[in-house]
Amino acid sequence: MLLVIAPLPTMAKEETTSSPPGPEPFTDLNLRFSNRSLRPPENLIVQTIPLTGLSVASPFVAPAPQAVIFEDDQRQRLAILSTDKAGHLTLFLLEPLPLDPKLPSLVQCGNDRGCQTDRTPLTGGLGCLAVCLKEVLETVAGNPLPR
């Protein structure tokens, strides 16, 4: 007796259509901290947003991070949040995202979390604001601009 098992064409179609789509890019961002201010090359910057209404505290015991890079697991960078020696914050977008309408929610999150006064190393100050910005970027990246 010979037994042959072969997939039916309809079964193969069901398998390809029922598989879940891969993750959207930039929906689960990683944060990389830098101990120096960063400014990406001009040809990579899509938009520069000075964050004039925000300030962050410096930690008491550890060196304060000066920049945060937002990237996905493949190290594709979405944005860089950096501070200068005077404490001015600048957001450099490296991908086209409709972020301007979301800036009030960033300011609100920073105020709610107390980023101006939180001096906890890494999770306070710039790290605190970075967590707020990560939430905003992931929300915006999940709803990209129509083309």
Domain ranges of the chain: 24-141
Where residue 26 falls (left for φ over 0; alpha for ψ -120 to 50; beta otherwise) is: left
pLDDT tens digits for range 11-41: 444 444 444 455 555 568 999 999 999 999 9
Please give the model's pTM, rounded to 2 decimal places.
0.76
Residue 62 pLDDT exceeds 90: no
Determine if residue 48 is left, alpha or beta; phi over 0 gives left, psi from -120 to 50 gives alpha, anything else beta. beta
The enclosing H or E element of 78 equals strand 77-83
Q: Nearest Cα to 64, choosing from 130, 135, 137, 133?
A: 130
The torsion region of residue 75 among left (phi > 0), alpha (psi -120 to 50) and beta comes to left
